[in-house]
Structures are given as C-alpha cells and as structure tokens.
A and B are shown apart, each in its own frame.
Chain A
Amino acid sequence: GAGVSQSPSNKVTEKGKDVELRCDPISGHTALYWYRQSLGQGLEFLIYFQGNSAPDKSGLPSDRFSAERTGGSVSTLTIQRTQQEDSAVYLCASTSGSSGELFFGEGSRLTVL
C-alpha cells in the first residue's frame, strides 16, 4: 500500500510484559514520528527520526520507552515492563524533509491489563 502501515493494530498485554510496535513509513519519506493518543491527554509527541541524524527523544515519558529506525525505513517502538498507564493508541507518521504535513498510520491500540 501507499500509506503508513502499523502493526499490530491491537495488542493486549499483561502488566510487566514488554511490547514492540512496528511502523512502515511511506517509501521515500525521510522523517518518521511516533505519537501517543490517550483519553484526556490528546496527541503527544514521543520521538522523531530524520535521516541519519540522532533521534529527538524529548517526548519519551520514561526510560521504559525506546525506539529505533533501521535502514532509514522501518521503525520499532519498544515499551518495557508495561504499566496500565501505557494503555493508549500509538500513532506513527512520516513525511518528507521537516514538513508539518504528516501522514499518519491507523495506529496500534495497546491495552495493558
């Protein structure tokens, strides 16, 4: 497909388990973003990758959260030792350059029991 692809679309896990969320950006887009959307918090920036530059991790809420982007394309967001407050929809977006016109995927809904 031509859009941003995220997997899994839904993930239910137990408190304390680790989870990995995957994002396939639009081909050719150099910038990739992760956002989190939860009730009462709206959309929050998590992390940003631009080309080969060091990622901007300023939005990650704790050191349990990490992300990597391999080969300038696919990205994985990892949450270690999940907590109930991590329950949210995790959205990935990509764009060319540093544009604010982001193309979002449909998100991965994470539920931590």
Chain B
Amino acid sequence: EDQVTQSPEALRLQEGESSSLNCSYTVSGLRGLFWYRQDPGKGPEFLFTLYSAGEEKEKERLKATLTKKESFLHITAPKPEDSATYLCAAPGGTSYGKLTFGQGTILTVHP
C-alpha cells in the first residue's frame, strides 16, 4: 500500500529562521511527488511537482528537492505569511491527480 509520511507534524519558526520539512514515501513505481500549501479554511494550492531523484524546484523562499526515498521542502528566511499547512502527495493508479497525501506539516512563522 502506498504511504506518504511527513515530519514534523508542526514546526514553529522565528521570522528569518530557515528550516526544512520532510516527506518520505513508500510508493511502487513513483511517478512524481507533489507539494501543496493549505491555508485555514481554504483548499490546497499547488506548489511543485518533482519527477526524478536529484530534481529541484524553487519558488520565492521555497525549494523542493527529491531523492529516491524522500523529499524536502526547504524554507529560507521565512516570513509570517509563509505560515500554512504544507502537504506532500504521490499519485497512484492511472491518474496523476489520484493522490495519496501525507498528514501535513503545520508551519507557524512568528514575527
């Protein structure tokens, strides 16, 4: 059975304090690893797709990386507006949109 596990469950940072979120996966025939951001009361918002080990993607203060067993979301010099739940997910079946999500990491950035 496909599994996606995220750690830590919650992370509290001071503004400007860089850190990383982890996503480990057990998926047969990985066909991509997705990162989403979710704000309270909203649906998830797509951030990145990574397809192969060694791949990196960047967007503003976020950088996602992928190895054969896990993915990291690095947050550099975070701001309070980066506070959200970050979700990673892997596709199963024939559709890339049929995703198995991790439980998420709740990130809080204090000013």
Contact A106 B42 (CB under 8 A): yes
A100 in contact with B96 given A43-B87, A106-B43 (CB within 8 Å): yes
Residue-wise interface mask of B (81-102) relative to A, using a CB-CB cutoff of 8 A (1 in contact, 0 not)? 0000001010101111111111
Does A93 make an interface contact (CB < 8 A)? yes
**Is A50 located at the chain interface by the 8 A CB criterion?**
yes
Contact call A104/B97, Cβ cutoff below 8 A: no
Asked whether B43 lies within 8 Å of A105 as measured between CB atoms, the reply is yes
Residues of B within 8 A of A33 (CB): 97-98
Give CA–CA (A97, B104) in the complex, Å. 26
A33, A44, A50, A101 pick with most chain B CB within 10 angstroms: A101
Segment from B17-25, B44-52, B53-61, B62-70 that makes contact with A: B44-52
- Contact call B101/A99, Cβ cutoff below 8 A: no
Is B41 at the interface (CB under 8 A from chain A)?
A: yes
> Residues of B with Cβ closer than 8 Å to A?
32, 34, 41-46, 49, 87, 89, 91, 93-104
Assess whether A100 is in contact with B99, with CB atoms less than 8 Å apart: yes
- Is the interface on chain A under 10, 10 to 19, 20 to 34, or 35 or more residues? 20 to 34
In the assembly, what is the distance between CA of A98 and CA of B49, in Å? 14
**A73 sits at the interface (CB 8 A):** no
Smallest distance from the beta carbon of A31 to chain B beta carbons, Å?
6
Point out the residue from B41, B87, B102, B103 that lies within 8 Å of A106, measured CB to CB. Answer: B41
- Interface pair B101/A98, CB less than 8 Å apart: no
- Smallest Cβ-Cβ distance to A50: which chain B residue: B95
CA distance A85 to B37 in the complex (A): 26
> Max chain A CB contacts within 10 Å: which of B42, B93, B98?
B98
Instruction: Given the known inter-chain contacts A43-B87, A100-B32, please indicate yes or no for A31 contacting B97, CB distance below 8 A.
Output: yes
A107 and B102 contacting across the interface, CB-CB below 8 Å: no
A18-52 near B? 1/0 per residue, CB < 8 Å: 00000000000001010000000011110010100
